[in-house]
Amino acid sequence: MMDHTTLFSLHGRTALVTGASRGIGQAVAVGLARAGANVVCASSAPGGADATRDLVEQTGRRGWSLAADLTRRDAVHALGAAAVEAAGRIDILVNNAGTIRRHPAVDFPAESWDDVMRTNLDAAWLLSQQLGAAMIGRGGGAIVNIASLLSFSGGVTVPAYTASKHAIAGLTKALANEWAGAGVRVNAVAPGYIETDNTEQLRNDPVRLQQISARIPAGRWGRPDDLVGAVVFLASPAAAYIHGHVLVVDGGWMAR
């Protein structure tokens, strides 16, 4: 029988969080550390995750700061290898890094499409494949992908982002189907409208801000900290029998 006093504990585990320099990634990295995990914090810019690493270490856990250009496959593989070299092993992978480009679909630049798909989808796939292999070998591990409300709907002027986030939801289910029997749990969290850099343009548009805000039953936009509990839960023993699930954290948006 499971010990309910340690149901949400991550003590003894090590996590890799991508996109950890700020926003959701930073909040999740610190939240995992508070739950007991050591955390490798990855950013796209050298030194970009140093502040997050310092916050992790302030909890009493070990932290590392790494950098990689996730649009390059060789850099993604190097990041996975460097994380294992630094921390010894990765028990929890949080594929959080993401980018967005806004253009009408008819004018959407190919370069923007490639940047979004490589960052949001390809990097998550490659890291999951690379680190998931070791998790399978050990008979356990957890991968938490960051999906989106646009894993379910189409959005406007964000075709690449929407396609990537639909694919993240599908990848989550596909990997869960193959890896659940090996003790590796693959799930996703789908944030609603959260106050981050990616939504700054929307929040600066008075019309879109009002339209979106009026539909959120909770009466406010989410904050990065609102995602922490969901990620910690899916990474913890409390989610031992949860596989291939996309957990929506949206202030009630999908219920309206």
What's the pLDDT score for residue 138? 98
CA gyration radius, the chain? 17
User: Looking at the annotation, which residues are catalytic?
Assistant: 161
Distance between CA 212 and CA 131 in Å, rounded?
A: 37
Q: Give pLDDT tens digits for 123-178.
A: 999 999 999 999 999 999 999 999 999 999 999 999 999 999 999 999 999 999 99
Token pair recorded at residue 144: 């938490």
**pLDDT tens-digit map of 8-17:** 999 999 999 9
pLDDT of residue 2: 62
Q: What is the pLDDT of residues 65-76, one digit of tens each?
A: 999 999 999 999
- Going by their DSSP bridges, the two strands 141-146 and 63-67 should be labelled as unpaired
pLDDT given for residue 123 in this prediction: 98
Rounded-to-integer distance, Cα 136 and Cα 99, Å: 29
What is the rounded average pLDDT of the residues 71-98? 98
Instruction: Give the C-alpha separation, 62 to 55, whole Å.
Output: 10
Question: What distances in angstroms separate CA 77 from CA 70, 72, 124, 146, one per listed residue?
Answer: 9, 9, 11, 19
Is pLDDT above 90 for 19?
yes
pTM of the predicted model, to two decimals? 0.96
Q: Does domain 4-248 have CATH number 3.40.50.720?
A: yes
State mean pLDDT over 69-87: 98
Kindly state the percentage of the chain with pLDDT values over 90.
93
CB 112, CB 103: distance < 8 Å: yes
Q: What is the mean pLDDT of the chain?
A: 96
Question: What average pLDDT score do residues 224-237 get?
Answer: 98
Q: pLDDT class for 5, splitting at 50, 70, 90?
A: confident
State the pLDDT at residue 166: 98
Q: Where are the domains of the chain?
A: 4-248
pLDDT bucket at 198, cuts 50 / 70 / 90? confident
In angstroms, the first-to-last Cα distance of the chain is: 39
